[in-house]
Amino acid sequence: NAGVMQNPRHLVRRRGQEARLRCSPMKGHSHVYWYRQLPEEGLKFMVYLQKENIIDESGMPKERFSAEFPKEGPSILRIQQVVRGDSAAYFCASSPLGRTSGNTIYFGEGSWLTVV
């Protein structure tokens, strides 16, 4: 069974460019979560999506960040006009069910974004 697949693993962008991070959940999982981890910090929840729906985006910055999980294809986290402060590891996680307690979520290996 393939785990949660994220790409690219490493991405370098210049200030002002766009970054697109992709996440394919585990087979059979329809719930996707994005987290951001700054160096030496814990993970911060960003957004929770189901297919074609954003369920909870309370952790998303108000500007420049967007996320989608289309009917077909991977979930995309998009960061427009990147700034140095966006440099971080972005982790995607998935679960088979969202709001049912007892479910484990599984993290992908992360995408490391560096803004120069």
Partner 1 sequence: GQQVMQIPQYQHVQEGEDFTTYCNSSTTLSNIQWYKQRPGGHPVFLIQLVKSGEVKKQKRLTFQFGEAKKNSSLHITATQTTDVGTYFCADVYGGSQGNLIFGKGTKLSVKP
Strand partners, 107: 93
C-alpha 112/C-alpha 85 separation (Å) is: 13
CA dihedral sign, ordered 18, 111, 1, 53: negative
Choices 18-26, 67-75, 79-87, 107-115 (CB under 8 A): range interacting with partner 1: 107-115
Q: Give the residue with the Cβ less far from partner 1, 38 or 83.
A: 38
All residues at 6 or more sequence positions from 103 whose CB lies less than 8 Å from its CB, including other chains: 95, 96, 97
**19, 48, 60, 69: which one contacts partner 1 (CB under 8 A)?**
48
Q: How many amino acids of this chain bind partner 1 (CB under 8 A)?
A: 30
- Contacts to partner 1 from residues 27-46, by CB under 8 A: 31, 33, 35, 41-45
**12, 83, 97, 116: which one contacts partner 1 (CB under 8 A)?**
97
State phi, psi for 84 to the nearest 5 degrees.
-60, -35
List residues binding partner 1 (CB under 8 A). Answer: 31, 33, 35, 41-45, 48, 55-56, 58-59, 91, 93, 95, 97-110
